[in-house]
Structure 1
């Protein structure tokens, strides 16, 4: 008999970005190699390709202190968790991009994400827009789909708050 295929994980999270027009939110997303300015990671930089073009590869990493073994924090060592991510598609008209993880030490076997800026569906008086982060990936060892989806939601909420602060500062200048 053939191998049983393990179903892919799929998820989608959307957040509102208040007091921010679509163009401002898109400026953050399209700057593919500055992710560290918007979500809680330590570094992100270009390693290959042309800025703003499919094929661009970024390196993202964070230092993680303490290693957990059998639910106990072992010696306070620092581990670097990293990923190389390749820009697959970018569309400034539709304000969306897709990328995949091409190499990592975090247990991803396959991962493709799509980020989109969504127009405000409310009345014109309420300034703001939305950001949607969708993903499809193989199950990740040590995670549940619910935990991973919560992590994506946390990162997207963090990003939305940083964008709101940045946009309120630049609009006051």
Structure 2
């Protein structure tokens, strides 16, 4: 047993070490969070209600029908549409470096949550060769913006939020522009599919 003043000293310095470790750990976690890219793309649909748009996103295995560059999507783990299930998506990309051979890109994505009442779905990239590490997306479909509601239109709004580690060779603005572009292309395809189904 150490004398009382030594016990206090050891306890104090031990607590300081724990506090220091905790502070360093918290600081490095905050630094890692600060290094991540966060963003959100939003689009309004004047002619489609949230109820009409939601089924396109609710079907976790139909992404290849709407997302440009994705040729196929299949279930590789779990039960389709239930949190924890994993989809495997593939696509063919034409090389930009002047090469002649096409490159097969692939990604495995895990469904984190799905809420049909709130019309919200969240998933993460768990593996792939597309350069997205620790990518988590949350897509929410809601009733139209305040503008459409004030004008008596139903409409809907899609919000695609994301967080991801920095992508080598890209800027955060490049990713924001890419997400915005594919969201608008997806919406156009969905609108065409619904118009075709109604005619």
Partner of 2:159: 132
Is the contact made by 1:67 and 1:77 (CA closer than 8 Å) also made in structure 2? no
2:100 is aligned with 1:43: no
Instruction: With the length of structure 2 as denominator, give the TM-score of the two structures.
Output: 0.78
| Greater fraction strand | 1
The answer for unaligned runs of 5 or more in structure 2 is 1-23
Give the equivalent residue in structure 2 for 1:99: 123
Which residue of 2 is the match for residue 83 of structure 1? Answer: 107
Q: CA deviation at 1:46?
A: 1.2
Q: For residues 96-153 of structure 1, what are the alpha-carbon distances to aligned partners after superposition, in whole Å with 9 as ceiling and x for unaligned?
A: 0100000011222210000000211323642421111000010011111101111101
Cα distance, 1:165 vs structure 2: 1.3
Q: Specify which of 52, 66, 71 is matched with residue 95 of structure 2.
A: 66
* Structure 1 contact 9–145 (Cα < 8 Å) conserved: yes
Conserved? CA contact 2:67–2:186, under 8 Å: yes
The alpha carbon displacement at 1:67 in A equals 5.2
Structure of larger gyration radius:
2
More helix by share: 2
Residue of 10, 16, 31 corresponding to 2:38: 10
| Matched residue, 2:10 | none
The 1:18–1:37 alpha-carbon spacing in structure 2 relative to 1, beyond 3 Å, is: farther
Q: CA deviation at 1:65?
A: 2.1
Give the number of the structure with larger relative contact order, counting CA–CA contacts within 8 Å between residues 6 or more apart.
1
Contact 2:74–2:89 (CA under 8 A) maintained in structure 1? yes
Name the CA distance, whole Å, in 2 between partners of 1:155 and 1:67. Answer: 19
1:160 is aligned, of 187, 196, 199, to 187
TM-score by length of 1: 0.89
CA distance in 1, matches of 2:81, 2:35: 32
Structure 1 spans left out of the alignment, 5+ residues: none
Contact 1:8 1:139 in 2 (8 A): yes
